Amino acid sequence: MKSFTYERPSTPAEAAAAVARTPEAKFIAGGTNLLDLMKLQIETPRHLVDVNGLGLDAVEPTEDGGLRIGALVRNTDLAAHPRVRTDYGVLARALLAGASGQLRNKATTAGNLLQRTRCPYFYDTAQACNKRRPGSGCSALDGVSRQLAVIGASDACIATHPGDMAVAMRVLDATVETVDAAGTERRIPIADFHRLPGDDPARDTTLAPGALITAVTLPKPVAGTHIYRKVRDRASYAYALVSVAAILTRDGTGHVAFGGVAPKPWRVEAAEADLPKGARAVTAQVFADAKPTPENAYKLKLAERTLGAALNQARA
Amino acid sequence: MVGATAPARQDAGVRAERTDEPVLATVTFTVNGQRRDLELDTRTSLLDAAREHLHLTGSKKGCDHGQCGACTMIVDGRRINACLTLAIMHQGAEIVTIEGLGQPDNLHPMQAAFVRHDGYQCGYCTPGQICSGVAVLEEIRAGIPSHVTADLGAAPQVTEAEIRERMSGNICRCGAYSNIVEAMTEVAEARA
Amino acid sequence: MKFDTPAGPNPIDRLKVVGRPTDRIDGKSKTTGTAPYAYERHDVAPDAAYGYVLGAGIAKGRVRRIDTASARQAPGVIAIVTTLDTPRIERGVMNVAYLFGGDVIQHYHQAIAVVVAETFEQARAASFLVEVDYAPEAGAFDLAEAAKSAAPVPADSGEGSGGNGEERVGDFEGAFAQAPVTLDATYTTADESHAMMEPHATVAAWDGDRVTLWTANQMIGWGHGSIAKMLGLPKEKVRLDAPYVGGGFGGKLFVRADAVLAALAAKAAGRPVKVALTRPLIANNTTHRPATIQRVRIGATRDGTITAIAHESVSGNLPDGDPETAVNQTKLLYAGANRLTAMKLARLDLPEGNAMRAPGEAPGLAVLEVAMDEMAEKLGLDPVAFRIRNDTQVDPNQPDRPFSHRDLVGCLTLGAERFGWAKRNPRPGQVRDGQWLVGLGMAAAFRNNMVMKSGARVRLDGSGTVTVETDMTDIGTGSYTIIAQTAAEMMGVPLDRVVVRLGDSDFPVSSGSGGQFGANSSTAGVYAACVRLREAVAQKLGFNATDAVFEDGAVRSGNRAIPLAEAAAGGALVAEDTIEFGKISKAQQQSTFGAHFVEVGVDVDTAEIRVRRMLAVCAAGRILNPKSARSQVIGGMVMGTGAALMEELAVDAKRGFFANHDLAGYEVPVHADIPHQEVIFLDEVDPMSSPMKAKGVGELGISGIAAAVANAIYNAVGIRVRDYPITLDKLLDRMPDAA
């Protein structure tokens, strides 16, 4: 970990300004991913702007019946929030399926969106990784890839987005609110927030440099059974092999996004019309362009069967 | 802002010359009821502040990456991985470590239950398990749901399944899980 | 004390303290965080500097150049020791790979430098400034490929159950060809990591030409000699101390890089240095359980009598390394007139393979006991009945050599009864409970009982306190407590009058902790020392040692009774002895036995596998402390469940390393994976094993459990997976259509 200076501003504007004026500065909130990566010098900020004093920790109803979640709301608190439990069950379930109790107590809404991949080659600084060291190559392509992406990846990177919360937010059509040092506010649909690697895997998101996430808003609740089904080898405290975030009605209509399969939460809205026809009809479209490795090809069948389980659950 | 003895941040040129020097910052918090004033390298984790600076070595470093739970402390009433947070981010915090729960001649009920049920073997994950165990029962009491809570609308109960899921952030390679669940169940029942 | 005749009646038989479920005497220290582990010794080395270890970034080749110029100028840096500054250091006891020194890289993350600084943060930051230039070389990293040219080996790892590479009895091939029912199947087991919770760690301090290492090590005697050899010092100049060890499972049997580098760094820095291997370094820097490819052939008559059995295994290792002795239990577990066991060793350039909890038996039974399940199905026999039919009371390779005590059948029958085995549907895939397909499986457990010479010193002081000193370690095994129980029983004092001090090389050399020999051997050593102390006490008090009775804090003979403490009124009495095991240990076959029963559920949609119930019945001689012994067994069952379901060091066969080298990537079971566990110990003693009449139990629990899980999965879904770990991706293609 390189040495860094540290400050703790008290308003979002100050925080954004602090990052803007300081070279190699980063925001730190829960720190559970950033510090992990700093210890390995995968992240090397020279100035940390601690945003924990900014407030931004409220969960409030919006005028159109939705919910505005402050960037610093902890995963535990968001999952336990009465409105989230009642109206956005898929989000509560996704949060509770993630990490551990200790980590959820620290991890924030904004930080969760920004967590970086768990690809083993990203984490091993002796190995080539285009996301960590652009231009060095992708060791995962012909390396250990059982956990990695089957779709949306590129020849430069097959890393997955490791999170659960963002998958639920994708199916909920959340919007990410940001502010920059100039005070400009921006609203980014969650669908556009995470980006695909293409030939530039180093950038995980479309967040502008120096911009601070202030909140995530959810539209008004969508009726139906809210399901987050996370499949993993061990029963808890593990990243998803495949996950399904779905809001489904009894007749099978609804919305679905997949986690653990792509560099971002993976949703193909056009395929959702076929949900009443069953899982296979949907996954055939959602994963039509999949390019799995031999090690992770199982994810295609797993995604289909997991969606099938969700459809069964909604019908039951 | 914590009192960081930072170089002139606005002057990038000066800063570049000095980037490798440790940046010291002061922080004051309460550990096990005792006020502590520390001047630390900003890079110091809360775990290392406790173990290396305060010599409170009960909290363990098993992985230093939030993957094992051996470093679990209770900070402002919540259990966290002390390895994945900076000490200087805890200005004014109330921190409880295993040493604050009980001492050999005055065991916390959870510590006593671990001894009675042999809820440990090598002992290295044990302080983290116990801190987590104490906090888990509070979380259930506070109505915080978990992955295995069937009905998100209802208050969670102390069941073996709830304990196992909530304790899963504390790895015990010796495999004392079955006994830990029994120890926690006993403590929960005694309180009920 | 020489143990060369079966143990007769002795004071241990009173079982006033020994044999009772006893809370650990170190429990309060461990549960309050006051037990000091190696890296925490502010008390002995308050001025220790921090060492941070760098591992090689290539799997094989040479280090051309290490540029430390920037790192040396980094703030706080006190010293840097690189592998190029240091002649290749000799290997310690049982080391296969060299730990440090010279330019040759044998495996990924081999230690190549240690950076010492005033603070941990400074040492870590400076380590990233060290620039290394490598000359990489091609290596062999794929076991399946290397197996093609693997050579047969005479093999005895010393840690496993011993024996030679190939052994034959009768005419296996002929009998197998004639058998009406046969199985010929090949299985694989994965590379596994010990993943103990305490990283390898050492504080080293020099005092002139003497060095003390507070270190995490299971075998102080071996470590003491190894460090002396590696540093070129006489043993008298070296001290090791390990009062608490945060788990080992074989990973801390031998001196590792943390100890060597701490000693070198402390010398270079001119002050104490502490070093812990970082978690991401451990999987590749240290040792692991090697992967295996195993072939089992069984031939039987239609009534289920085994007539031919063969077990062959190939594993890989670095040059000078041993094979994983996965075939050895097959020599002893079942009857059968025609037998073959053989091992081959492939040359690999992956990190060093070495002992991990029940080396040999853990992966060997994981395979053999699935093969037995497959064979039972072919025969239309119940798996329990098939095993009972082929029980043997003698070593099948040497029929004139009996087992000292063998009650495998008792374990199987009691286990079946307690678990409700009779309710199992032998047709797989039939039982559904909501979302789950449910199956039951079982397997035999078997692990040899080894014994090791072990010494102890006991002291009686004027307050009546008995203090035991031995270099035995407690790595979670419960050594503190069973040693205290032994001394209390022998000296006739309550447990709280015994003080136990462990892990210091200044104390008499013990068996150490490994191979499940520790509990029986080390307590037998304490027994021997206590016999001596009893003699000294009797003499002091004017009793005849042979008829003096030590109980209730007094020594009694006839109608005369004197408080024990009086013997030490004029000064402490000290006695020391070592138990040494004679030919008796080999004359009969000493083994431990058990039966595992497991219920699993397999998710009907996703094929996720979750264990629902577990029972082990164990026959392992006298159980010294049923409470801590039970913990040893359930712990083994947890680790074996990990091997069955998730544990696999993922080999990058192109780059030559284990890619998932941390605790997020290498998954071990968590709380949510493990249900309530039942353990039953059969009430037995084995007078051939030691004066304690006890046998090992620390590795019995892991032996066979993976197969029981695998067999339960088969019963649940009707899919036989022969490649561990059994993850859902291996089931998915064959799962029945859900819905």
Kindly state whether residues B83 and B115 are assigned to the same domain: no
Do C650 and A146 make contact, defined as CB atoms within 8 angstroms?
yes
Peptide bond just before C725 cis, omega within 30 deg: yes
Nearest-CA distance from A245 to chain B in Å?
A: 14
Residue C738: per-residue pLDDT: 67
Kindly state whether residues B115 and B185 are assigned to the same domain: yes
Decide: helix, strand or coil at residue C417.
Answer: helix
Residue C156: per-residue pLDDT: 53
DSSP codes of every residue in C106-169: -STT-EEEEEEESSHHHHHHHHTT-EEEEEE------HHHHGGGPEE-----SSSS---S-EEE
Encoding tokens for residue A286?
């959602």
Decide: helix, strand or coil at residue C314.
Answer: strand
Name the residue facing C670 among A127, A234, A305 (closest C-beta).
A234
Partner chains of A (3+ C-beta pairs under 8 Å): B, C
Residue B75, in any domain of the structure: yes
The C-alpha atoms of residue C187 and residue C723 are separated, in whole angstroms, by: 6
Q: What's the CATH number where B182 sits?
A: 1.10.150.120
Name the residue facing C663 among B44, B97, B171 (closest C-beta).
B171
Span of B81-85, B188-192, C161-165, C570-574 with lowest mean pLDDT: C161-165
Q: Of B101, B132, B158, which closes a domain? A: B101
Residue B191: per-residue pLDDT: 82
Name the residue facing C247 among B64, B114, B174 (closest C-beta).
B174
Residues of chain A contacting B, Cβ within 8 Å:
1-9, 21-23, 28, 30-32, 35-36, 39, 46-48, 50, 52, 76, 79-80, 85-86, 89, 92-93, 96-97, 99-103, 105-106, 235-237
SS (H, E, C) chain B: CCCECCCCCCCHHHHHHHCCCCCEEEEEEEECCEEEEEEEECCCEHHHHHHHHCCCCCCCCCCCCCCCCCCEEEECCEEEEHHHCEHHHHCCCEEECHHHHCECCECCHHHHHHHHCCCCCCCCCHHHHHHHHHHHHHHHHCCCCCCCCCCCCCCCCCCHHHHHHHHHHCCCCCCCHHHHHHHHHHHHHHHC
- Across-strand partners of A58? none
| Number of residues that make up chain B | 192
Residue B165, in any domain of the structure: yes
Encoding tokens for residue C724?
């561990």
Partner chains of B (3+ C-beta pairs under 8 Å): A, C
Q: Of B101, B130, B150, which closes a domain? A: B101
Most C-contacting residue of A305, A307, A312, A315 (CB-CB within 10 A), to test interface: A305
Do C120 and B97 make contact, defined as CB atoms within 8 angstroms?
no
Name the residue facing C31 among B63, B111, B160 (closest C-beta).
B111
Nearest-CA distance from B59 to chain C in Å?
A: 7
Residue B2, in any domain of the structure: no
Residue C165: per-residue pLDDT: 72
Angle at C594 between CA C591 and CA C598, to 5 degrees: 150
Encoding tokens for residue C479?
């050594």
Radius of gyration, CA atoms only, chain C = 26
The C-alpha atoms of residue B152 and residue A305 are separated, in whole angstroms, by: 25
Nearest-CA distance from B28 to chain A in Å?
A: 15
Kindly state whether residues B64 and B133 are assigned to the same domain: no
Residue B14 has pLDDT above 50, yes or no: no
DSSP codes of every residue in C449-507: -----EEEEEEE-TTS-EEEEES---SSS-HHHHHHHHHHHHHT--GGGEEEEESBTTS
Per residue in B110-157, pLDDT tens? 999 999 999 999 999 999 999 999 999 999 999 999 999 999 999 999
CB-CB contact of A143 with C652 (8 Å): yes
Kindly state whether residues B118 and B160 are assigned to the same domain: yes
Per residue in A95-154, pLDDT tens? 999 999 999 999 999 999 999 999 999 999 999 999 999 999 999 999 999 999 999 999
Most C-contacting residue of B48, B177, B179 (CB-CB within 10 A), to test interface: B177
Name the residue facing C667 among A142, A143, A238 (closest C-beta).
A238
Residue B114, in any domain of the structure: yes
- Residue C519, chain B, CB below 8 Å: the answer is no
Distance of CA C178 to the CA centre of its chain: 40
Per residue in C571-591, pLDDT tens? 999 999 999 999 998 999 999
Contacting residues of A for C664, CB less than 8 Å apart? 118, 239
CB-CB contact of C39 with B61 (8 Å): yes
Nearest-CA distance from B190 to chain A in Å?
A: 23
Residue B10, in any domain of the structure: no
Residue B11, in any domain of the structure: no
**Which of these, A100, A103, A84, lies nearest to A92 by C-alpha position?**
A84
**Which of these, C376, C396, C383, lies nearest to C334 by C-alpha position?**
C396
Please identify among residues 68-127 of chain B the ones whose CB lies closer than 8 Å to any CB of chain A. 69, 72, 78-81, 84-86, 88-89, 91
Contacting residues of C for A231, CB less than 8 Å apart? 606, 608, 728
| pLDDT-based confidence at residue C153 (cuts at 50, 70, 90) | confident
Do B136 and A237 make contact, defined as CB atoms within 8 angstroms?
no
| pLDDT-based confidence at residue C520 (cuts at 50, 70, 90) | very high
Kindly state whether residues B115 and B97 are assigned to the same domain: no
The C-alpha atoms of residue A228 and residue C289 are separated, in whole angstroms, by: 37
Please identify among residues 193-212 of chain C the ones whose CB lies closer than 8 Å to any CB of chain B. 194-199
The C-alpha atoms of residue C726 and residue C721 are separated, in whole angstroms, by: 7
Nearest-CA distance from A249 to chain B in Å?
A: 18
Per residue in C379-435, pLDDT tens? 999 999 999 999 999 999 999 999 999 999 999 999 999 999 999 999 999 999 999
Do A118 and C606 make contact, defined as CB atoms within 8 angstroms?
no
The C-alpha atoms of residue A267 and residue A286 are separated, in whole angstroms, by: 7
Do A301 and C732 make contact, defined as CB atoms within 8 angstroms?
yes
Domain that holds residue B37: 24-101
**Which of these, A159, C726, A100, lies nearest to B63 by C-alpha position?**
A100
| pLDDT-based confidence at residue B20 (cuts at 50, 70, 90) | confident
The C-alpha atoms of residue A140 and residue A148 are separated, in whole angstroms, by: 8
Kindly state whether residues B94 and B114 are assigned to the same domain: no
| Side chain identity, residue C276 | A
Nearest-CA distance from A170 to chain B in Å?
A: 20
- Residue B30, chain A, CB below 8 Å: the answer is no
Span of B177-186, C162-171, C313-322, C327-336 with lowest mean pLDDT: C162-171
Span of B114-123, C156-165, C176-185 with lowest mean pLDDT: C156-165
Kindly state whether residues B84 and B115 are assigned to the same domain: no
Instruction: State pTM to two decimals.
Output: 0.97
Contacting residues of B for C630, CB less than 8 Å apart? 118
Which run of H or of E encompasses C81? strand C77-82
Do A308 and C671 make contact, defined as CB atoms within 8 angstroms?
no
Do B145 and A2 make contact, defined as CB atoms within 8 angstroms?
no
Q: Write the DSSP symbol of residue C270.
A: T
Most C-contacting residue of B118, B132, B165, B180 (CB-CB within 10 A), to test interface: B118
Residue C577: per-residue pLDDT: 98
**Which of these, A237, B171, A126, B89, lies nearest to C246 by C-alpha position?**
B171
Contacting residues of C for B164, CB less than 8 Å apart? 671-672, 674
Neighbours of C22 (CB within 10 A): 22
Q: Quote the longest CA-to-CA distance of chain B.
A: 63
Residue in B closest to C678 by C-alpha: B178
**Which of these, C147, C157, C92, lies nearest to C322 by C-alpha position?**
C157
Q: Where are the alpha helices (DSSP H) in C646-695?
A: none
Distances (CA, A) of A232 to A90, A283, B170, C711, C722: 18, 19, 18, 21, 21
As a dihedral over the C-alpha atoms of residue A282, residue A284, residue A289, residue A295, rounded to 10 degrees, the angle is 110
Decide: helix, strand or coil at residue A30.
Answer: coil
Kindly state whether residues B142 and B182 are assigned to the same domain: yes
The C-alpha atoms of residue C679 and residue C673 are separated, in whole angstroms, by: 18
Query: For chain B, how many structural domains are there in total?
Result: 2
Strand order in the sheet with C560-563: C549-551, C554-557, C560-563
Task: Give Cβ neighbours of residue A300 (< 8 Å, ≥ 6 apart).
Answer: A150, A283, A287, A290, A292
Q: Where are the alpha helices (DSSP H) in C542-673?
A: 584-587, 626-645
Residue C737 has pLDDT above 90, yes or no: no
CB-CB contact of C146 with C71 (8 Å): no
Distance of CA B7 to the CA centre of its chain: 32
**Which of these, C396, C376, C403, lies nearest to C328 by C-alpha position?**
C396
Q: Scan for tokens 């009996």, then name that residue.
A: C402
Residue B10: per-residue pLDDT: 31
Do B65 and A36 make contact, defined as CB atoms within 8 angstroms?
yes
The C-alpha atoms of residue C639 and residue A119 are separated, in whole angstroms, by: 25
| pLDDT-based confidence at residue C89 (cuts at 50, 70, 90) | very high
Kindly state whether residues B169 and B128 are assigned to the same domain: yes
- Across-strand partners of C704? none
The C-alpha atoms of residue B56 and residue B79 are separated, in whole angstroms, by: 17
Higher-confidence residue of B7 and A49: namely A49
Kindly state whether residues B31 and B95 are assigned to the same domain: yes
What is the helix, strand, coil percentage profile of chain C, to 5? 30, 30, 45
Q: Scan for tokens 């502008």, then name that residue.
A: A208
Per residue in C223-245, pLDDT tens? 999 999 999 999 999 999 999 99
Do B99 and C32 make contact, defined as CB atoms within 8 angstroms?
yes
Nearest-CA distance from A309 to chain C in Å?
A: 6
Burial of C571 (0-12, 13-18, 19+ CB in 10 A): exposed
Decide: helix, strand or coil at residue C666.
Answer: coil
Angle at C359 between CA C353 and CA C360, to 5 degrees: 105
| Side chain identity, residue C234 | P
The C-alpha atoms of residue C634 and residue B179 are separated, in whole angstroms, by: 9
| pLDDT-based confidence at residue C600 (cuts at 50, 70, 90) | very high
| pLDDT-based confidence at residue A252 (cuts at 50, 70, 90) | confident
Q: What's the CATH number where B77 sits?
A: 3.10.20.30
Do C29 and B104 make contact, defined as CB atoms within 8 angstroms?
yes
| pLDDT-based confidence at residue A253 (cuts at 50, 70, 90) | very high
Nearest-CA distance from A64 to chain B in Å?
A: 23
Residue C739 has pLDDT above 70, yes or no: no
Kindly state whether residues B113 and B140 are assigned to the same domain: yes
Do A32 and B42 make contact, defined as CB atoms within 8 angstroms?
no
Q: Is the ipTM of this complex over 0.90?
A: yes
Encoding tokens for residue C547?
């008829």
Residue B156, in any domain of the structure: yes
CB-CB contact of C76 with B91 (8 Å): no
Name the residue facing C655 among A40, A139, A305 (closest C-beta).
A139
Long-range contacts of A271-276 (CB under 8 A, 24+ apart): A275/A248, A275/A311, A276/A251, A276/A252
Residue B28, in any domain of the structure: yes
What average pLDDT does chain C have? 97
- Residue B126, chain C, CB below 8 Å: the answer is yes
Per residue in C647-692, pLDDT tens? 999 999 999 999 999 999 999 999 999 999 999 999 999 999 999 9
| Side chain identity, residue C407 | D
Q: Of B101, B123, B148, which closes a domain? A: B101
Q: Give catalytic residues of C, as residue numbers.
A: 699
